[in-house]
Amino acid sequence: MTSTQAGTAIIPDFGDGASAGRKLAVICSKGNLDMAYPGLILANAALGEGVEVHLFFTFWGFDMITKSRMRDLKFTMLGNTATHMPQGLGGLPGMTAVATHQMRKQIRDVGVPDVPEFLDQIVDSGGHLWACRLSADMMQLDENDLYDPVEGVISAGDFIDKTEGAQLLFI
């Protein structure tokens, strides 16, 4: 191993200057167990890098923040060719429960938390959670039905306003 001598101390760039002010907006529109995770993982990663993060839950994504459903998201093989199983199998009674159980185990095995616990971590890391006004009206839900740290039920326009200049992910 050859060593070179650095003249001055090398100090990592933790981006306290240049990337300060970077923002990420994540729109979560799906309520399946498997589709809940991409947004959560990326939001969590961005927060760890000092990025300001706003998540907007809309349509089926509302299940991720609805108290009565957030612990019970499901995974189905139906319509998902990436399981590489015969599609007919997914339609058998009880198959969604089996597939959900299996996926929860795989997620747990890599040390990734359940959706509610993951949201807790995102909020503790400084992430902001917003619920979609139209979805709330459609599903006849209000703040009391939603996970407590959700900061508000807002319109799409309000969300766009809050995330001015942000990079955006639609999931």
Partner 1 sequence: MTVTTIGAAQVHVDAEGFLTEYGEWNEDLGSQLAAQIGIELTDAHWRVIRFLREDYAEQGETATLRRVSTQAGIPVKELFALFPGKPAKKMAYVAGLPKPVGCVLSVAGPSRSSERTARRGGIR
| Position among 35, 50, 80, 114 found at the interface with partner 1 (CB under 8 A) | 50
Q: Considering the complex, what minimum distance in angstroms separates the CB of residue 67 from partner 1?
A: 22
> Per CB under 8 A, does 41 bind partner 1?
yes
Residues of span 12-31 touching partner 1 by CB under 8 A: 12-16
Half-sphere exposure for 81 (CA within 13 Å, toward CB): 0
77 to each of 29, 84, 150, how far by Cα in Å? 19, 9, 30
| Position among 21, 45, 101, 134 found at the interface with partner 1 (CB under 8 A) | 45
Please provide the size of the chain in residues. Answer: 171
> Per CB under 8 A, does 121 bind partner 1?
yes
- Residue number, 20 or 92, with CB nearest to partner 1: 20
Give all strands of the β-sheet with 167-170 in edge-to-edge order. Answer: 152-154, 128-132, 52-57, 23-28, 167-170
- Residue number, 50 or 152, with CB nearest to partner 1: 50
**Region binding partner 1 by CB under 8 A among candidate stretches 45-53, 93-101, 135-143, 152-160:** 45-53
**Region binding partner 1 by CB under 8 A among candidate stretches 4-12, 21-29, 145-153, 155-163:** 4-12
Place of tokens 């400084």: 126
**Region binding partner 1 by CB under 8 A among candidate stretches 37-45, 61-69, 70-78, 143-151:** 37-45
Tell me which H or E stretch contains 169: strand 167-170
> Per CB under 8 A, does 125 bind partner 1?
yes
DSSP 60: G
Instruction: For residues 45 and 22, give the distance between their C-alpha atoms in angstroms, rounded to a whole number.
Output: 13
| Position among 68, 93, 110, 164 found at the interface with partner 1 (CB under 8 A) | 110
54 DSSP β-pair partners: 25, 128
Residue whose C-alpha is closest to residue 54's, from 136, 120, 131, 142: 131
What does the binding site for partner 1 look like in residue numbers (CB under 8 A)?
1-6, 8-16, 41, 44-45, 48-50, 109-113, 121, 124-126
